[in-house]
Amino acid sequence: MTMFNYESTCLYTKYNNLDRKVIYFMTKKVAIIVTNEFEDIELTSPKEAIENAGFETVIISDTANSEVVGKHGEKVTVDVSIADANPEDYDALLIPGGFSPDYLRGDTEGRYGTFAKYFTKNDVPAFAICHGPQILIDTDDLKGRTVTAVLNVRKDLSNAGANVVDESVVVDKNIVTSRTPDDLDDFNREIVKLLED
């Protein structure tokens, strides 16, 4: 018999009628919310950095097992539909830029903003680059937070109460934001650093 005890992060097993306790490490899971016309490298580069650091990524969009296609043709398979996604199953959130965040905000049920709110409200790491911080507006949790983004999103972030700065990467507690693909090295570094804490 094997059972998980998440509180002590140990795995208990029964072997030859002896109870044994085995220490195990749960891999952190990062949810990536995305749809068509994402900025390709703003998904692929952080995803690769996260996975190379030993963490798991899960693509979340409208329909599981479908493909979403980036602005430059990159295709990724959706692992979990937003309807079935429970934010409590994830240790962090990544929101790539491109046109994808604007499309996600157009979801008639507001599911992506609601999903993201779990992370901002509960101080769970949330990473957003370029147009990605638009989704954070829908959480209503940006007042007083310091963020950055691509130029044409900054006014909206400011109107949502955020302190907007023009820096390659900004870390405000659990929220990490960057401006453009030119900032990916800094963005990826801070993502991995926060995940490893």
The count of other CB atoms within 10 Å of the CB of residue 14 is: 11
Q: Which of 47, 117, 131, 145 is catalytic?
A: 131
Task: Please write the tens of the pLDDT for every residue from 79-118.
Answer: 999 999 999 999 999 999 999 999 999 999 999 999 999 9
Please give the structure tokens belonging to residue 110.
């507001």
Do strands 67-69 and 175-178 pair parallel, antiparallel, or not at all (unpaired)? unpaired
- The question of whether 131 is a catalytic residue gets the answer yes
- The two most distant CA atoms of the chain are separated, in Å, by 65
CA atoms within a 13 Å half-sphere pointing along the CA-CB vector of 181: 9
Could you report the per-residue pLDDT of 116-133, keeping only the tens digit for each?
Answer: 999 999 999 999 999 999
**pTM of the shown model:** 0.88
C-beta separation of 12 from 5 below 8 A: yes
Instruction: Please identify which of the residues 130, 137, 149, 195 carries the catalytic annotation.
Output: 130
Summarised one tens digit per residue, pLDDT across range 70-82 is: 999 999 999 999 9
What sections of the chain are H helices per DSSP?
40-52, 100-105, 111-121, 133-137, 151-159, 184-196
* DSSP code for 88: G
**Residue ranges of domains in the chain, CATH in brackets:** 27-196 (3.40.50.880)
